[in-house]
Amino acid sequence: MDTAPQPTHHDLGGNPKYRCTAVEPENPALNDFDKRVDALRVVLREKGLITTDEQRLKIESLPPEEYFGLSYYEKWLKAMAAVLVSRGIVSWEDVS
């Protein structure tokens, strides 16, 4: 009996569809939205309102259509909102 956990949609390691390509030596420039989301993450973390592990869990819990449809920082923002909602700090209505 195989008890190894089955990979979920965010676990792309070894999937030939998502083979890595050469990494550019320089990171792409962040746009204003990306910078704001990153700044928000820093503030929320420093105030003890979110943790990296909570944010990662919420990102990995996104349905496949959102996981593959959102940009990197859109995933971060959605995950941060989900953490704040789960902690009862805000509601989804507040976020909308």
Instruction: Judge whether 14 lies within some domain.
Output: no
Reading the block at residue 50, the tokens are 């979110």
Contact in structure between 72 and 56 (CB atoms under 8 Å): no
Give the confidence band of 96 by pLDDT, cuts at 50, 70, 90. confident
Range of the domain at 45: 39-95
Reported pTM: 0.74
Flag whether pLDDT at 4 surpasses 90: no
What mean pLDDT, rounded, does the chain reach?
86
Q: Are the CB atoms for 9 and 67 separated by under 8 Å?
A: yes
Q: How many CA atoms lie within 13 A of 76 on its CB side?
A: 17
Cα 37–chain centre separation: 11
How many domains is the chain partitioned into structurally? Answer: 1
Q: Looking up tokens 């503030």, which residue turns up?
A: 43
On whether residue 13 sits in a domain, the answer given is no
Q: What is the pLDDT of residues 43-93, one digit of tens each?
A: 999 999 999 999 999 999 999 899 889 999 999 999 999 999 999 999 999
Q: Is residue 23 part of a domain?
A: no
